Structure 1
Amino acid sequence: MFDVYITRAGKYLPNEPVSNDEMEGVLGMINDAASKARRIVLRNNGITSRYYAIDKEGNVTHNNAQLTHLAVEQLYDNNFTKKDVEVLSCGTSSPDNLFPSHASMVHGLMDNQSVELNSSSGVCCAGMNALKYGYMSIKSGNSKNAVCTGSERSSTWMLADKFNNEVINLKNLEEQPIIAFRKEFLRWMLSDGAGAFLLENKPRGDVSLKIEWMESFSYAHEHEACMYAGGDKLEDGSLRPWQDYPAEEWLKQSIFSVKQDVKLLDKYVLDLGSDSTKIALDKHGVDYRDVDHLLPHVSSNFFGSRLYDSLLARGIDIPTEKWFLNLSRVGNVGAASIYLMIEELMNSGRLKKGEKILLIVPESGRFTYSIAYLTVC
């Protein structure tokens, strides 16, 4: 078995940052009315700026594959070029197409040579699953390097015109033309961008991160879906997929919108994440006091202090001075978020050789968690 290192990290954030006051001008107003939910959601999530692959006139500037490719290009230099890539492993929850796969579409932009591909779906853990595929490929000796990515282009899912048909339908039914909170909530939470890592079997440069281990946990056997798209939830908690709806209902009910069951989120996301973290640390014999940097992917600053309390209740006391977050500056970029955090920390000048980094990535889709432990080299 071979050691695995993150030797380079790249990112791509499209266009200029969008402030809270500019969001609705870019995404548009539903039913030509200012959102009542926007200020409440923004006050709780603590995000002050984010990036959209849409310009401020509403024109689409990049698709997901292009965002990802631009992040991958940041990994190249004179010692590692696009012709050296052996494995390309890409994770996202918002691919441009149902198929071909996201990784295939990114590879199509690389203009290099035949490589091994992997596409990981899901929500926030899709990026970590892509990373684990590359990790295992190098660990096993199957390859000497892998490019792993996490990316999202959520903004086009959240444009007002995706919801206006539902508003018209509600008016025709003489009901209140107000989009349900579970659909509008994520309009003010999600943003666009991509991150990329180069994984190799030897360290390189001034800072490399050795991946000591990666663990994943799913609780779908215990809980119904919490965050979903391309379907709707029935009274029994099951999801009815978009294929089972008549085509005319797709727009009338905003079937393809991203939805969040905020009650389930609040009830389970923190405790299951803390349980998973404790199981992973105990399995590998890691003392939480050895952690120098904690990188938790939190979708909202609302969960920050509550995550600390949840970990503390399980005997894990990592002070917030050791936490590294960039949510307020770049927004919640789903599968790309952990990549963007690591890229920023790697290039911050703060890391010292021998330090330990703990990653905690939750996914509220149907409650999945990824935990990883890194050593600075």
Structure 2
Amino acid sequence: MNDVFITKAFTYLPNEPVSNDEMETYLGYINGAPSKAKAIILRNNKITTRYYALDKEGNPTHTNAQIAANAVKGLFDDKFRKEDMELLSVGTSSPDQIQPSHASMIHGELDMNKSLAINTASGLCNSGMNALNYGFLSVKAGVHKNAVCVGSERMSAWMTADKFNHEAENLALLEERPIIAFKREFLRWMLSDGAGAFLLEGQPREDEVSLKVEFIDFYSYAHEIEACMYAGTEKQEDGSLKSWADYPSDEWLKQSIFALKQDTKILDKYILVKGAESLRTSFDKHNLDPDTVDHVLAHVSSGYFKEGLKEEFANVGLDFPWEKWFYNLSEVGNIGAGSIFIALEQLMNSGRLKKGEKVLLCVPESGRFSYSCALLTVC
């Protein structure tokens, strides 16, 4: 089995950063009125800027595949040409279409004249880590000499007002208040667009920062907990999900069936506790001493969770001091499957890393509560 190294990383964020005050200029006003929940949600999530693949009229400027392809193109240089790529492994929770696969569409955007092995990981935030794991195992097993792994999102197109106006109109016809349910509106003020890409190879680069991938672990708690974040479906009273395919087509817009929704009640109950439980399991499995970790990159959807996450980790014997934590949520927003890629790229190219240091990655996914973690060594 081969050693595997992240030898280069690149981030692509579309257009200019969007401030809190500008958000509804891009996303629009549901039912023509400013959101009453927006200020509360932004105060808690502590995000100040984010990126949208939209112009100020709400028109798309990039597809998800184009955003991801731009991140991939940033990996090409005189040491790694486009023609050298053997595997493209990608993850997203917001593909541009149900089919073809996201990886197929990115490959098509790269203007290549060769075939590739491709892989698309589905899911939510952990789809990026699953894509990374596929590339890691492929290079480790010697199936491919290199792998390009990408986490990308274009959630802004899902959050424009026109996607919710039919539901608001339907509520008004029913003589109810035309206010979209909090579980639907909550995520409008959380999510951002962008992509991060890693190049994985069997050797580190000389005179450049490379990161050896020691392990990547995954944990699912779907056997214990019902779904928390979902789209293309609606949660029933018993906690089960009813698929969009089982609704009459005229209900898709009336109930915003395709909107991304989150059950915030069970989110608060489980997201941190299960994250700490899964990480403790990995530290025990690999017989790791938390004092040997130098940098902690934990993907959080909101600044609201930062203090609680540190506390829950400490409760299971993983008390990392604040100076070891690295966050960029407030500047780039929650980019779902791309967040951990973008945070690691920023740290990797910051000049802060020293040879021999250990970098811990932690990614939660509230879809039905799954988690991943990885340990990297600076070379």
Q: Which TM-score tier does this pair reach, normalised by the shorter chain?
A: over 0.9
Equivalent position of 2:201 in the other structure: 200
In the alignment, which of 323, 326, 349 is matched to residue 324 of structure 1?
326
Correspondent of 1:244 among 234, 239, 246: 246
> 1:57: Cα distance to partner?
2.5
TM-score, scaled relative to structure 2: 0.99
Corresponding position of 1:266: 268
Letter in 1 for 2:140: K
Match of 2:40, SS state, is helix
The equivalent of 2:66 in structure 1 is 66
Match of 1:160 in 2: 161
Structural mapping, 1:334-373, within 5 Å:
334-373=336-375
Tell me, yes or no, if structure 1 residue 232 matches structure 2 residue 224: no
Return the letter of the residue paired with 1:219: Y
Q: How far apart, CA to CA, are the structure 2 residues paired with 1:316 and 1:195?
A: 28
Matches within 5 A, 1:201-220: 201-205=202-206, 206-220=208-222
Could you tell me how far 1:204 is from its partner in structure 2? 1.0
Equivalence for 1:293: 295
Aligned residue identity for 2:178? P
CA distance in 1, matches of 2:99, 2:161: 26
CA shift, 1:111, in A, is: 2.5
Cross-structure match for 2:117: 116
Distance 1:181 1:75 in 2: 40
> How far apart are residue 59 of structure 1 and its match?
1.8
One-letter code aligned to 2:355:
K
Matched length: 377
- SS across alignment from 2:89: strand
Q: How does 1:93-132 map to 2 (within 5 A)?
A: 93-112=93-112, 113-132=114-133
Measure, in 1, the Cα distance between the counterparts of 2:226 and 2:37: 25
Instruction: Tell me how far apart the structure 2 counterparts of residues 283 and 147 of structure 1 sit (CA, whole Å).
Output: 28
Distance 1:115 1:59 in 2: 32
- Quick one: distance in 2 between partners of 1:111 and 1:257? 32
CA separation in 2, counterparts of 1:298 and 1:166? Answer: 30
Cα separation, 1, equivalents of 2:160 and 2:320: 39
Q: Distance in 1 between matches of 2:81 and 2:245?
A: 42
Question: For residues 343 and 288 of structure 1, what CA distance do their matches in structure 2 show?
Answer: 23
1:275 aligns with 277
SS at match of 1:7: strand
Q: Deviation string for 1:64-119 (max 9, x for gaps)?
A: 00000000000000121110000000000000110110000001112221111100
Quote the Cα distance in structure 1 between the aligned partners of 2:98 and 2:34: 33
Q: In the alignment, what sits opposite 2:86?
A: 86
TM-score by length of 1: 0.99
Counterpart AA for 2:329:
L
Give the distance between the partners of 2:348 and 2:293, measured in 1 at CA. 16
Aligned equivalents of 1:39 and 1:196: distance in 2? 33
Quote the offset at 1:315 in angstroms.
0.8
Name the structure 2 match of 1:56: 56
**Structure 1 unaligned spans of 5+:** none
Amino acid at match of 2:268: D
User: Partner amino acid for 2:36?
Assistant: K
3-state SS of 1:90 partner? strand
CA RMSD of aligned residues (A): 0.6
After superposition, give the CA deviation of every residue in 1:172-222 in whole Å (9 maximum; x if it has no partner). Answer: 111111100000000000010001000000001410000000000000111
Misfit runs of 4+, over 2 Å:
none
Q: CA deviation at 1:126?
A: 0.4
1:307 aligned partner: 309
2:166 maps to amino acid:
N
| Distance apart, 1:56 and its partner CA | 1.8
What is the distance in 2 between the residues matched to 1:82 and 1:220? 39
| TM superposition shift of 1:277 | 0.4
- Alpha-carbon distance, 1:10 to partner: 0.7
- State which drifts further: 51-60 or 238-247: 51-60
Q: In 2, distance between residues paired with 1:119 and 1:345?
A: 26
* Alpha-carbon distance in 1 for matches of 2:220, 2:145: 29
CA distance in 2 between partners of 1:309 and 1:262 (Å): 20
Task: Give matches, 1:131-150, under 5 Å.
Answer: 131-150=132-151
CA displacement 1:279-325 (0-9 Å, x = unmatched): 00110111000000000001111100000110111011101110000
